[in-house]
Amino acid sequence: MTDPNGKGVKTLGLKVGSELHAQFTLVAQLDGISLNDAALKAVELYVETKRSEPDFAQRASAALEAIEAEAAARRGAIQGLFGTGSDEVAEAAKSAGGRSRKTATTE
């Protein structure tokens, strides 16, 4: 399933209390939108709110550095398995079909 921008979509499941659910349903009805659209607006508002926090960029940068460090460690582990040459690693990736541990799925 894809969105109009062609980027794909993910499904979220939420557990909310009865009172909040009733209020959320009423607000969506008053706005004339579906619960799905109301939830999407809520998620977009949350992301925008977090994005405007003073320390958000710093935290995001730290998360990116951690991701890059993990990738470098994994790259090093793979190179250790196949030798230090990047040609061997590229060849091993080709022979594995260039796939990660996760199997290809349609989302």
Closest CA to 46 of 97, 90, 19, 12: 12
Tokens encoding 96: 């594995």
pLDDT digits (tens, 9 = 90+) for 10-58: 999 999 999 999 999 999 999 999 999 999 999 999 999 999 999 999 9
Mean pLDDT of 54-70: 95
Greater model confidence, 7 or 12? 12
The gap between the terminal CA atoms of the chain, to the nearest Å, is 6
Domains of the chain, by residue range, sit at 1-52, 56-107
- Determine the angle formed by the axes of helices 86-95 and 56-82, rounding to 10 degrees: 90
* Structural contact between residues 3 and 9, judged by C-beta atoms closer than 8 angstroms: yes
Residue 75 has pLDDT above 70, yes or no: yes
For residue 9, what are the CA distances in angstroms to 45, 81, 86? Answer: 18, 36, 35
Position 104 scores a pLDDT of: 47
Position 89 scores a pLDDT of: 57
For domain 1-52, the question of CATH label 3.30.160 is answered with: no
Greater model confidence, 95 or 74? 74
Tokens encoding 72: 């470098």
